[in-house]
Amino acid sequence: AQSVAQPEDQVNVAEGNPLTVKCTYSVSGNPYLFWYVQYPNRGLQFLLKYITGDNLVKGSYGFEAEFNKSQTSFHLKKPSALVSDSALYFCAVRDPNDYKLSFGAGTTVTVRA
Amino acid sequence: DTGVSQDPRHKITKRGQNVTFRCDPISEHNRLYWYRQTLGQGPEFLTYFQNEAQLEKSRLLSDRFSAERPKGSFSTLEIQRTEQGDSAMYLCASRKGPRSPLHFGNGTRLTVT
C-alpha cells in the first residue's frame, strides 16, 4: 500500500520569506513523487516530480523539492514566497508497479503581504 | 495541448436521479483516471483506463457508479440513484507515459439535494 502524509493543515508566511510545505510518504518500492497546486474551484496543476536522479528537483513558478530517502520525505520549498502562491498544495506518491497516484490531505498556504 | 476538458462544470440533481459526466483527455494521452474530491480532502482514486480497457476500480466505486471509455478517447462517469453522500468534485486526469505526471481537468462539482 502507498500513502502520503502532509502533517500541516495550514502554513502561513510573509511575502518574501521562505516557504516550506512538508510531505512524507510510504511505498513499498522506489517512489515516484509529485507536487500539485489547486486554486479554488479548479483542478490540480502539476508543479514538479521526482522519478530518479538528483534529489533536488526544480519545478514551475520557482518551486523546488528535495527527495530524502532515509527520511521518506519530499518537502516542497520556495526561497521567496509571493502572495499569489496562496493556494492548496498536494503531495502525491505512486509505486512504479501501480497505476494510481495517492494524494495527501493537502496543505493550505497563505502568504500575507 | 488543449488540456483535459470536463463537462459539465456544475451539476445539481435531486436524490435518486442519475447523472453522467464527460471527460475529454489530452489527445495523445492513452491513460485516463477518475478521482473524487470532497471538501478539505485530497483526491481519492476511483478508476483507471488504459486505452479503452478499465484496468482498476477502487472499492469506493459502488455498484451505482460506472465508467466507460468506449473508443479509448473520451470517458463518461455515470452515477445511478444519486445519494447526498455523492456530493463532491469529480476530477478527470490523463497522462501519456509511465513516468509522466497526471494532467487534471477543472472537475465537475456535483451537488445532490
- Answer whether A100 sits within 8 Å of B43, measured CB to CB: no
Share of chain A above pLDDT 70, in %: 100
Question: Chain A contacts of B104, Cβ < 8 Å?
Answer: 36, 43-45
Amino acid at B34: W
SS3 B86: helix
DSSP string, A32-87: EEEEEEE-TTS-EEEEEEE-SS-SEEE-GGG-EEEEETTTTEEEEEESS--GGG-E
For residue A109, the distance in angstroms to the closest alpha carbon of chain B comes to: 13
Give the per-residue pLDDT at A79: 97
Nearest residue in B to A49, CA atom: B101
- Answer whether A105 sits within 8 Å of B56, measured CB to CB: no
Amino acid at A105: A
Do B75 and B32 contact (CB within 8 A), yes or no? yes
Give the number of residues written for chain A.
113
Give the per-residue pLDDT at B1: 53
The closest alpha carbon to A88, from A102, A109, A104, belongs to A109
Q: What is the pLDDT along chain B (113 residues), one digit of tens a residue?
A: 579 999 999 999 999 999 999 999 999 899 999 999 998 899 999 999 999 999 999 988 889 999 999 988 999 999 999 999 999 999 999 999 888 999 999 999 999 99
Give the number of residues written for chain B.
113
Amino acid at B80: Q
Q: How far is CA A72 from the centre of its chain?
A: 13
Question: Chain B contacts of A101, Cβ < 8 Å?
Answer: 33, 45, 102
Instruction: Give the mean model confidence (pLDDT) for residues A23-51.
Output: 93
